Chains A and B, each alone.
Chain A
Amino acid sequence: MNAIAASRRALFQGAAALTVAFALRPGAAGAWTTKPVALDECDAYLAIGADGRVTVFVGKVDMGTGIRTGFIQIAAEELDVPMTRVSVVEGDTATTPDQGPTYGSLSIQNGGVALRAAAATARREFLRLASERLGAPAASLRIEDGEIIGGSGRVSYSALVGGRAISLKVDTNAPIKPPEARRIVGRAVPRVDIPSKVFGRFEYVHDFNPPGTLHARAIRPPAMGAVAEAVDEASIRDIPGIVRVLHQRGFVGVVAETEWAAIRAARQLRIRWSDWAGLPDQARIWEHVRATPVAQVQVTSERGDAAAAIAASPKKLAASYDFAIHTHASMGPSCAVAKFDDDGRLTVWSASQATHNLRKQLAMMLAIDVEKVRCIYMEGAGCYGRNGHEDAAADAALLARGQTRPVRVQWMREDEHGWDPKGPPHLVDMRAGLDAQGRVTGWTADAYIPRGAGGNVDLTAAELGGLPRETLMSPGNIVHNLAHGYAMPAVKTVCHRLDTTPFRPSWIRTPGRMQNTFATEAFLDEVIAEAGADPIAYRLGMLPADELRGREVLERVGRLANWQGRPSPQRDRTGDVLRGRGVTYVKYEMVRTYVAAVAEVEVTRSTGAIKVTRFYCTHDCGQMINPDGVKAQIEGNIIHTLSRTLKEELLYDRRTVTSRDWSSYQVITFPEVPEMRIELIDRPTERPWGAGEPAAAVVPSAVSNAIFDATGVRLRSVPFTSAKLLAALRGA
Chain B
Amino acid sequence: MATNIGFTVNGAARSITVDDAEMPLLYALRNDVGDRSLHYGCGLGQCGACTIHLDGEAVRSCQIPASAAAGKRITTLAGLGTPEAPHPLQAAFIAEQAVQCGYCLNGMIMQSAAFLTKNPRPTETQVKEELVNNICRCGTHPRVVAAVLRAARG
Chain A residues with CB under 8 Å of chain B are 63-66, 190-191, 193-195, 197-204, 206-207, 209, 240-241, 258-261, 263-264, 329-333, 379-384, 410, 412-413, 628, 632, 635-640, 643, 661-663, 667-671, 673, 676
In the bound assembly, the distance between CA atoms of A692 and B143 in angstroms comes to 17
Interface flag for B44 (CB, 8 Å): yes
Shortest C-beta distance, A336 to chain B (Å), equals 14
Given contacts A331-B47, A413-B44, are A673 and B100 in contact (CB under 8 A)? no
Q: Are A661 and B36 in contact, with the CB atoms below 8 A?
A: no
Please name all residues of chain B whose beta carbon is closer than 8 Å to the beta carbon of A200 when the two chains form the complex.
35-38, 76-78, 80, 106
**CB interface residues, B 48-83, toward A, < 8 Å:** 49, 76-78, 80-83
Interface centre among A198, A206, A330 (most CB of B within 10 A): A198
> What are the interface flags for B112-142 relative to A under an 8 Å C-beta threshold, 1 for contact and 0 otherwise?
0000000000000101110111111111111
Please name all residues of chain B whose beta carbon is closer than 8 Å to the beta carbon of A263 when the two chains form the complex.
27
- In the complex, the 3 A-B pairs of residues with the closest C-beta atoms, listed nearest first: A200-B37, A64-B101, A639-B139
Q: Are B78 and A201 in contact, with the CB atoms below 8 A?
A: yes
**A-B contacts besides A199-B77, A673-B142, 20 pairs, CB < 8 Å:** A191-B99, A198-B93, A199-B78, A206-B39, A206-B40, A260-B19, A331-B41, A331-B47, A331-B49, A332-B39, A333-B40, A381-B103, A381-B137, A382-B101, A413-B43, A637-B139, A661-B42, A670-B129, A671-B129, A676-B142
Q: Are A204 and B103 in contact, with the CB atoms below 8 A?
A: yes
Q: Are B97 and A191 in contact, with the CB atoms below 8 A?
A: yes
Shortest C-beta distance, A442 to chain B (Å), equals 38
In the bound assembly, the distance between CA atoms of A193 and B40 in angstroms comes to 20
In the bound assembly, the distance between CA atoms of A113 and B144 in angstroms comes to 31
Shortest C-beta distance, B56 to chain A (Å), equals 18
Chain B residues with CB under 8 Å of chain A are 18-20, 23-24, 27, 30-31, 35-44, 46-47, 49, 76-78, 80-83, 86, 90, 93-94, 97, 99-106, 109, 125, 127-129, 131-145
Q: Are B27 and A66 in contact, with the CB atoms below 8 A?
A: no
- The residue in chain A whose Cβ has the minimal distance to the Cβ of B131 is A670
Q: Are B143 and A198 in contact, with the CB atoms below 8 A?
A: no
Shortest C-beta distance, A725 to chain B (Å), equals 22
In the bound assembly, the distance between CA atoms of A209 and B34 in angstroms comes to 10
Please name all residues of chain B whose beta carbon is closer than 8 Å to the beta carbon of A241 when the two chains form the complex.
19
Given contacts A197-B102, A382-B100, A663-B46, are A259 and B31 in contact (CB under 8 A)? yes
Shortest C-beta distance, B145 to chain A (Å), equals 7
Please name all residues of chain A whose beta carbon is closer than 8 Å to the beta carbon of B125 when the two chains form the complex.
671
Shortest C-beta distance, B44 to chain A (Å), equals 6
Shortest C-beta distance, B12 to chain A (Å), equals 15
Can you give 20 A-B contacts (C-beta < 8 A)? Answer: A63-B101, A194-B99, A200-B77, A204-B39, A206-B39, A261-B19, A331-B137, A381-B101, A413-B42, A635-B139, A636-B100, A639-B141, A640-B138, A640-B139, A662-B42, A669-B135, A670-B145, A671-B128, A673-B141, A673-B142
Please name all residues of chain B whose beta carbon is closer than 8 Å to the beta carbon of A209 when the two chains form the complex.
31, 36
In the bound assembly, the distance between CA atoms of A331 and B138 in angstroms comes to 9
Please name all residues of chain B whose beta carbon is closer than 8 Å to the beta carbon of A628 when the two chains form the complex.
97
In the bound assembly, the distance between CA atoms of A222 and B27 in angstroms comes to 26
Shortest C-beta distance, A379 to chain B (Å), equals 7
Shortest C-beta distance, B129 to chain A (Å), equals 6
- The residue in chain B whose Cβ has the minimal distance to the Cβ of A696 is B139
Shortest C-beta distance, A84 to chain B (Å), equals 14
Q: Are A193 and B44 in contact, with the CB atoms below 8 A?
A: no
In the bound assembly, the distance between CA atoms of A676 and B128 in angstroms comes to 15
Q: Are A382 and B27 in contact, with the CB atoms below 8 A?
A: no
Q: Are B19 and A410 in contact, with the CB atoms below 8 A?
A: no
Please name all residues of chain A whose beta carbon is closer than 8 Å to the beta carbon of B42 when the two chains form the complex.
413, 661-662
- The residue in chain A whose Cβ has the minimal distance to the Cβ of B23 is A260
Q: Are B104 and A331 in contact, with the CB atoms below 8 A?
A: yes
In the bound assembly, the distance between CA atoms of A241 and B20 in angstroms comes to 12
Checking A65, A331, A668 against B103 with a beta-carbon cut-off of 8 angstroms, the contacting residue is: A331
Please name all residues of chain B whose beta carbon is closer than 8 Å to the beta carbon of A201 when the two chains form the complex.
37, 78
Q: Are B132 and A669 in contact, with the CB atoms below 8 A?
A: yes
Q: Are A382 and B19 in contact, with the CB atoms below 8 A?
A: no
Q: Are B99 and A412 in contact, with the CB atoms below 8 A?
A: no
Shortest C-beta distance, B72 to chain A (Å), equals 19
Checking B99, B104, B132 against A198 with a beta-carbon cut-off of 8 angstroms, the contacting residue is: B99
Shortest C-beta distance, A40 to chain B (Å), equals 32
In the bound assembly, the distance between CA atoms of A481 and B27 in angstroms comes to 46
Q: Are B141 and A670 in contact, with the CB atoms below 8 A?
A: yes
Q: Are A382 and B77 in contact, with the CB atoms below 8 A?
A: no
Shortest C-beta distance, B22 to chain A (Å), equals 9
Shortest C-beta distance, B30 to chain A (Å), equals 8
Please name all residues of chain B whose beta carbon is closer than 8 Å to the beta carbon of A638 when the two chains form the complex.
139
Please name all residues of chain B whose beta carbon is closer than 8 Å to the beta carbon of A197 when the two chains form the complex.
99, 102, 105
In the bound assembly, the distance between CA atoms of A451 and B130 in angstroms comes to 44
Given contacts A201-B78, A332-B41, are A661 and B46 in contact (CB under 8 A)? yes
Q: Are A661 and B78 in contact, with the CB atoms below 8 A?
A: no
Please name all residues of chain A whose beta carbon is closer than 8 Å to the beta carbon of B99 when the two chains form the complex.
191, 193-194, 197-198
Q: Are B93 and A194 in contact, with the CB atoms below 8 A?
A: yes
Q: Are A636 and B140 in contact, with the CB atoms below 8 A?
A: yes
Q: Are B41 and A413 in contact, with the CB atoms below 8 A?
A: yes
In the bound assembly, the distance between CA atoms of A640 and B142 in angstroms comes to 12
Shortest C-beta distance, B20 to chain A (Å), equals 6
Please name all residues of chain A whose beta carbon is closer than 8 Å to the beta carbon of B20 when the two chains form the complex.
260, 264
Please name all residues of chain B whose beta carbon is closer than 8 Å to the beta carbon of A639 when the two chains form the complex.
139, 141-142
Please name all residues of chain A whose beta carbon is closer than 8 Å to the beta carbon of B127 when the two chains form the complex.
670
Shortest C-beta distance, A671 to chain B (Å), equals 5
- The residue in chain B whose Cβ has the minimal distance to the Cβ of A637 is B139
Q: Are B46 and A332 in contact, with the CB atoms below 8 A?
A: no
In the bound assembly, the distance between CA atoms of A198 and B103 in angstroms comes to 10
Please name all residues of chain B whose beta carbon is closer than 8 Å to the beta carbon of A258 when the two chains form the complex.
19, 27, 31
In the bound assembly, the distance between CA atoms of A380 and B138 in angstroms comes to 12
Please name all residues of chain B whose beta carbon is closer than 8 Å to the beta carbon of A195 when the two chains form the complex.
83, 94
Please name all residues of chain A whose beta carbon is closer than 8 Å to the beta carbon of B138 when the two chains form the complex.
64, 331, 382, 636, 640
Q: Are A331 and B101 in contact, with the CB atoms below 8 A?
A: yes
In the bound assembly, the distance between CA atoms of A260 and B40 in angstroms comes to 12
Shortest C-beta distance, A48 to chain B (Å), equals 28
Please name all residues of chain B whose beta carbon is closer than 8 Å to the beta carbon of A259 when the two chains form the complex.
27, 30-31
- The residue in chain A whose Cβ has the minimal distance to the Cβ of B66 is A260
Q: Are A632 and B77 in contact, with the CB atoms below 8 A?
A: no
Interface centre among A200, A203, A206, A384 (most CB of B within 10 A): A200
- The residue in chain A whose Cβ has the minimal distance to the Cβ of B106 is A200
Shortest C-beta distance, B65 to chain A (Å), equals 11
Please name all residues of chain A whose beta carbon is closer than 8 Å to the beta carbon of B106 when the two chains form the complex.
200
Interface centre among A191, A669, A676 (most CB of B within 10 A): A669
Given contacts A199-B82, A662-B47, A663-B46, are A193 and B102 in contact (CB under 8 A)? yes
Given contacts A635-B142, A670-B141, are A662 and B46 in contact (CB under 8 A)? yes
Q: Are A330 and B81 in contact, with the CB atoms below 8 A?
A: no
In the bound assembly, the distance between CA atoms of A209 and B35 in angstroms comes to 12
Shortest C-beta distance, A45 to chain B (Å), equals 25
In the bound assembly, the distance between CA atoms of A63 and B138 in angstroms comes to 10
Q: Are B40 and A382 in contact, with the CB atoms below 8 A?
A: no
Shortest C-beta distance, B2 to chain A (Å), equals 9
Shortest C-beta distance, B146 to chain A (Å), equals 11
- The residue in chain B whose Cβ has the minimal distance to the Cβ of A638 is B139
- The residue in chain B whose Cβ has the minimal distance to the Cβ of A663 is B46
Interface centre among A259, A331, A673 (most CB of B within 10 A): A331
